[in-house]
Structure 1
């Protein structure tokens, strides 16, 4: 059964708007000041006024402050009506700890775009489910905007395509290259990273489907399920999944089993997987991975695709959760946003 979109849309993000930065997980913003400085400059050059959350200066070992402090920092930025979007600085672990301290009414009263990925999945899904608000699985401040030279032009154009105007973004562009080289932040990242040919998007099960978009990190989502947390509503949705570049094959298989047991494959209208860095750096065989994903999704009633440009990969798309989307898997794979992600 198709899901009807009843989205609440934050205002469009335009040049001159203020954006906030929050550290929902670890303290890398505090430990990598040069990288943070580049991210702030890149956001400024993109036309935004940048406001830094208190959590960016916090370092309590493996977290950027207590869970309560990080949650209050996020809500304070959201409650500032001059701030139109809040970007996570980086993923890691610990974003799920914020949820007991978040107040859904703050997000309802102050429609603000939330943008990030990786373990920020927990916060994005919670806000989306609690408020019906569009949130975005997309670039983070340090990994993307903090690159030497700023965010990749593809990534910036993709962000603007979705968030700059109250219009349906239409087909999301493909990227012919991928960047996976690792350069240690604030030590070896003073040059641009090498680019590789990415290859085309892959159709594992052919077909076409429409439904509201859901994007998430596999490890984050599976961990929530294993802890007895809420399972997202998959019915009639286009579900896009990606995995951390630190995951090994056993972790991937365990996460797929966990999500398979929730009925995701049978209930989703269509399924897509992001690019896996492990296939580009030689740790995993690409054809073998595609076979694994195809076998896992064998019972899917709609299209299944792989190698989409999102998640732990560069460059990346911006994916607005809840927006009605068409996934087409034939000779080519197309991801098309059919309605606006933002309001005027």
Structure 2
């Protein structure tokens, strides 16, 4: 396991567009996000494809890979953040400079389609990566939600931490859809709740990310092997119940639910239940068909706002009796005070 150094105030966050060209189709949100991050005391470095668009993507496969590699090779860049997700980050995996990243570990963060890169980098280097905010999609949101998202990111990547570090459930959450070009203030939100289905404690490595994206790397050298006792983080966005059933059935058929110790099930943004009245957890429960598996339902490391940041590859503890989710072992180099 390779631990990146913490991100310190005044250091540089580089951003890149591994799939969708958000810097082009969401210019107001992009500018607002940059202003917000700078106001938090960090410098920004734009990736080479900033302001570029090739229809559904920011550039060719090799151009997108080179954009990322330039940030990996820049010693002044201490954190690399995606601008948004999309559909095609997995195409970059053969062309990433893994050796350079292993020589100079840094924080890599994003969510959704970036799952492919986060897990691919972890598989190839052992580097802890971070399922967390994307510049445009997350940090272009309005307060107070953007503040909660950034505070959660900062708590996991920049601050001196006393272990174990227990996640605090946000009081409110939202998946309300408002056109980014028309949004002028904070989205309405709902009262939050996490559901803990299980007993005792589950200790294990957190692995996973966006369920739909996992389909693009499953069975490849870029997908870390699921190990006995792992805590599987899965979440999705804007999908219908039929698609979710297929994806969860795939995990069962692959033996994943026989191997993991628990599932962290993230909220599904604007889930389309096709009139069934069922939730993503209901689908998972049917797929399991009585198989015992501890599940936390509604966790906030997902497409909804605010978003908690999860270090993939780190050790965690879910206490189902106390109803807590905690990080239990170091995930940053030299930054933990211990028990």
Normalising by the residue count of structure 2, what TM-score does the alignment of the two structures yield?
A: 0.91
The alpha-carbon deviation at position 150 of structure 1 amounts to 7.8
Any conservation in 1 of the 2:318–2:326 contact (CA below 8 Å)? yes
Where does 1:25-104 land on structure 2 (aligned, <5 Å)? 25-104=19-98
The answer to whether residue 196 in structure 2 is matched with residue 206 in structure 1 is no
Structure 2: any 5+ residue segments left out of the alignment?
Answer: 335-339
How many pairs does the alignment contain?
A: 331
Rounded Cα–Cα distance in structure 2 between residues aligned with 1:272 and 1:70:
31
SS at match of 1:16: coil
Q: 2:101 aligns with which of 88, 104, 107?
A: 107
- Per-residue CA shift, 1:21-42, capped at 9, x if unaligned? 1000011212222111111111
The answer to whether residue 232 in structure 2 is matched with residue 239 in structure 1 is yes
Distance 1:298 1:172, change over 3 A: farther
Distance 1:339 1:119, change over 3 A: same
The alpha-carbon deviation at position 156 of structure 1 amounts to 1.7
Distance 1:144 1:243, change over 3 A: same
Any conservation in 1 of the 2:116–2:213 contact (CA below 8 Å)? yes
Rounded Cα–Cα distance in structure 2 between residues aligned with 1:98 and 1:150:
34
- Residue 13 of structure 1: aligned partner: 7
The alpha-carbon deviation at position 288 of structure 1 amounts to 4.5
- Per-residue CA shift, 1:95-121, capped at 9, x if unaligned? 111112112102111211100000100
- Residue 313 of structure 2: aligned partner: 322
Where does 1:83-162 land on structure 2 (aligned, <5 Å)? 83-149=77-143, 152-162=146-156
SS at match of 1:209: strand
Rounded Cα–Cα distance in structure 1 between residues aligned with 2:62 and 2:184:
35
Rounded Cα–Cα distance in structure 2 between residues aligned with 1:300 and 1:115:
34
Structure 1: any 5+ residue segments left out of the alignment?
Answer: 1-6
Any conservation in 2 of the 1:95–1:120 contact (CA below 8 Å)? yes
Q: 2:175 aligns with which of 172, 180, 184?
A: 180
- Residue 215 of structure 2: aligned partner: 222
Rounded Cα–Cα distance in structure 1 between residues aligned with 2:290 and 2:258:
6
Rounded Cα–Cα distance in structure 1 between residues aligned with 2:18 and 2:255:
30
Rounded Cα–Cα distance in structure 1 between residues aligned with 2:224 and 2:275:
29
